[in-house]
Amino acid sequence: MKAIGIDLAGLETNPSGFAVLTNRNFKAQIVYSDERMISLCADEEPSVVAIDAPLGLPKRGNLRDADRSLIKRGLRVFPPTFAGMRKLTERGIILAKKLRARKIKVIEIHPRTSGLLLFNTSDRARWLAELKKMGLRFEGGKSAHEVDAMMAAMTGLLYLKGEAEKVGTQREGTIVIPIA
């Protein structure tokens, strides 16, 4: 099983984290363009691509059912329609559509939520320490974007292993989180 995690930036001029998790090894890097991400995903042939960005808009209001569900659990997420989130959401929807057109499975994740559920912390340094304790190895992972992409890939792997759940609805989209 191979999982890719993407910590997507709202604009292609800003850095996005990109991580591949294969056989207990993470390989992380910074990527900018959608075309580069799509090319890397196609080359890697992953079982899933887990994207840290909203991949759908609410049918009404500012929050989707998935967002409300996480908030009810005490987890913090930004509304997809929030000023800075709007461009990220639009980019995420387009990227997911292009990947799915290539028959690549795509899921939405939220790395901070995954870190809190898996390791009871939002501290990225502690995530890395805990992942190392689990026997995972790293190439890259120096920036916050790469670490978030690694957590996205980890969530994708848990999804593939049946150790994650979907919150939300098909109508507005779901967010995949680890089973705590």
Which tens digits make up the pLDDT trace of 69-117?
999 999 988 888 888 888 999 999 999 999 999 999 999 999 999 999 9
Q: What's the full length of the chain, in residues?
A: 180
Mean pLDDT along residues 50-75? 92
Three-state secondary structure of 16-78: EEEEEEECCEEEEEEECCHHHHHHHHHHHCCCEEEEECCCCCCCCCCCCHHHHHHHHCCCCCC
Please say whether the beta carbons of 128 and 140 come within 8 A: no
pLDDT digits (tens, 9 = 90+) for 123-172: 999 999 999 999 999 998 889 999 999 999 999 999 999 999 999 988 88
Report d(CA 46, CA 34) in Å as an integer.
17
Please say whether the beta carbons of 38 and 96 come within 8 A: no
How does residue 176 score in pLDDT terms, banded at 50, 70 and 90?
very high
3-state secondary structure of 160: helix
Q: For residue 180, is pLDDT > 80? A: no
Number of domains in the chain: 1
Closest-CA residue to 20 (of 104, 123, 141): 141
Q: For residue 19, is pLDDT > 90? A: yes
pLDDT for the residue 145? 97
Domain that holds residue 161: 2-178
Burial bucket for residue 90 (CB in 10 Å: 0-12, 13-18, 19+): middle
pLDDT for the residue 123? 95
Residue 82 maps to which CATH number? Answer: 3.30.420
pLDDT for the residue 168? 92
3-state secondary structure of 155: helix
How does residue 122 score in pLDDT terms, banded at 50, 70 and 90?
very high
Q: For residue 30, is pLDDT > 80? A: yes
pTM given for the model: 0.95
3-state secondary structure of 93: helix
